[in-house]
Amino acid sequence: MVGGGKDAFIGAVHRIAANMDGLVELACGALSHNAEIAVDSAKSLFLPESRTYLTYQEMIKAESKLPAGERMDFLTIVTPNFVHFAPAYEALDNGFNVVIEKPMTFTLDEAKKLQKKVEETGLVLALTHTYSGYPMVKQARQMVKAGALGKIKKVVVEYPQGWLTRLTEREGNAQAAWRTDPSKSGKSGSMGDIGTHAAHLAEYITGLHITKLCADLNIMVEGRGLDDDGNVLLKFDNGAAGVLIASQIAAGEENALKIKIYGDKGGLEWAQQEPNSLLIKWLDKPTEIYRTGGGYLSSFAKHNTRVPAGHPEGYLEAFGNIYRNFALTLSAKLDGTKPTEEMLDFPTAADGVRGMAFIDSVVKSNTSNEKWTDFTL
């Protein structure tokens, strides 16, 4: 693991998710740029001194010299955005597979280079777009793919949060500080942080690609360096229209990600804060409620469900599904067997490139006088 020391938030989430199915063991780490925190964090996680590193460069170099059966199998990167590309590229260059936080890189150019490196090496890269890991999101994707809703015509996706309603980056909130700093987060705030989740979810469930967009980004809290609110009109490659809202100044909201998709036969609705339910709304019959754990669900939904129906599965389990599928795919490759389609169902470098292209296109649209901006890779 790179990053994720004792004062970090997302590193602990990654470790819980990775360990959930007993398929992954933390073997080594460069857990902080602060040497004292790196060492203390490693001790608290029972890592041996010999595999406690102070830099990712030191770790990759040392691990690559170990025998094949002893070295790390993959590197997890849980640092702020500006420290994604370099360790990922170096890991791939030294033969290590990669799991990486989103957005995949700091710039679109970096994302393209990383995707090219993955293709050249034949290694596996997983991107932790967590919300695609929920069983009912996978059920929704399979139903759309099977044509149950007919031709998709409308997509409405929203991700409101309220945690940046005040200037918390100047009140000691470390998570807010780097996310609102252009030198660490990138060229967009709310759209880069949570808008990319919404865009990925829309494309993942529908199987469609965004081709054009019209964006309006706002800085609603005076003194902030990056957008904390935004609205985007979307056009998809089958002619469907969409609306995407991402806001971190929606006072009182937690992580209220919700998506509605409508075809010419019916629609669906899924909400992250009630993740075990999927509403299917028919044009000519009553609404149906699909539930996690149901025997009638697709193989993809069942593959990503751990407990019997009626037992809640949430954010950590969805996160765990990405690690589980990545680990199963990697194990299959190491064993010389072919992973199943269910195993291969996790975000990849291609999704990472589209995420960075979304950020670039949104920022470009926001500064343009033209109504529509092409979504370009």
- Over residues 68-119, the pLDDT tens digits come to 999 999 999 999 999 999 999 999 999 999 999 999 999 999 999 999 999 9
Ramachandran quadrant class, 313 (left: phi over 0; alpha: psi -120 to 50; beta: rest): beta
CB 165 within 8 A of CB 249: yes
Note whether 291 and 144 are same-domain residues: yes
- Over residues 315-326, the pLDDT tens digits come to 999 999 999 999
Residue finishing a domain among 128, 156, 180? 128
- Asked, as a colleague might, if the bond just before 103 is cis with ω within 30 of 0, I would say yes
Length of the chain: 377
| Domain boundaries, position 43 | 10-128
Inside any domain, residue 114 = yes
- List Cβ neighbours of 289 (8 Å cut-off, separation of 6 or more): 277, 278, 279, 280
Note whether 197 and 287 are same-domain residues: yes
Q: How, if at all, do strands 97-100 and 125-127 pair?
A: parallel
* pLDDT at 7 exceeding the cut of 90: no
Q: How far is Cα 163 from Cα 168, in angstroms, rounded to an integer?
A: 8
Inside any domain, residue 195 = yes
Note whether 61 and 169 are same-domain residues: no
Residue finishing a domain among 128, 147, 174? 128
Terminal-to-terminal C-alpha distance of the chain: 29
* b/e map 68-89, b = 16+ CB within 10 Å: eeebbbbbbbbbbbbbbbbbbb
- Over residues 169-201, the pLDDT tens digits come to 999 999 999 999 999 999 999 999 999 999 999
Q: Which stretches does DSSP call E strand in the chain?
A: 74-77, 97-100, 125-127, 152-160, 210-218, 229-236, 241-247, 258-263, 266-271, 274-282, 288-291, 373-374
φ, ψ at 59 (rounded to 5°): -65, -50
With 0-12 CB in 10 A as exposed, 13-18 as middle and 19+ as buried, what is 93? Answer: middle
Q: How far is Cα 246 from Cα 158, in angstroms, rounded to an integer?
A: 6
Q: How far is Cα 59 from Cα 74, in angstroms, rounded to an integer?
A: 12
* pLDDT at 243 exceeding the cut of 90: yes
Inside any domain, residue 175 = yes
CB 55 within 8 A of CB 32: no
Note whether 145 and 263 are same-domain residues: yes
Residue finishing a domain among 68, 94, 128? 128
Note whether 181 and 300 are same-domain residues: yes
Would you state the pLDDT for residue 255? 97
* pLDDT at 148 exceeding the cut of 90: yes
Residue 217's beta-bridge partner residues?
A: 230
Residue from 141, 142, 91 nearest 114 by CA: 91
Would you state the pLDDT for residue 375? 98
Rounded mean pLDDT of 266-274?
98
Note whether 112 and 171 are same-domain residues: no
Note whether 140 and 101 are same-domain residues: no
Inside any domain, residue 314 = no
Rounded mean pLDDT of 263-282?
98
Note whether 113 and 192 are same-domain residues: no
Report the share of the chain in percent with pLDDT over 70: 100
Give the helix, strand, coil percentages of the chain, each rounded to 5: 40, 20, 40
- Over residues 273-305, the pLDDT tens digits come to 999 999 999 999 999 999 999 999 999 999 999
* pLDDT at 154 exceeding the cut of 90: yes
* pLDDT at 225 exceeding the cut of 90: yes
Lowest mean pLDDT among 95-99, 140-144, 308-312, 337-341: 308-312
Inside any domain, residue 119 = yes
- Could you give the 3-state DSSP secondary structure of residue 68? coil
The structural domain count of the chain equals 2
Note whether 171 and 109 are same-domain residues: no
The token duo for 215 is 């964006």
CB 133 within 8 A of CB 321: yes
CATH number assigned to the domain comprising residue 242: 3.30.360.10
DSSP class of 124? -
Residue 213's beta-bridge partner residues?
A: 234, 373
- Over residues 29-44, the pLDDT tens digits come to 999 999 999 999 999 9
Inside any domain, residue 4 = no
CB 304 within 8 A of CB 135: yes
Note whether 184 and 105 are same-domain residues: no
Q: Which amino acid is at 300?
A: F
φ, ψ at 194 (rounded to 5°): -120, -20
Inside any domain, residue 162 = yes
Instruction: Give the predicted TM-score (pTM) of the model.
Output: 0.97
- List Cβ neighbours of 339 (8 Å cut-off, separation of 6 or more): 328, 329, 332, 333
CATH number assigned to the domain comprising residue 25: 3.40.50.720
- List Cβ neighbours of 272 (8 Å cut-off, separation of 6 or more): 131, 134, 255, 256, 257, 258, 315
Residue 210's beta-bridge partner residues?
A: 236
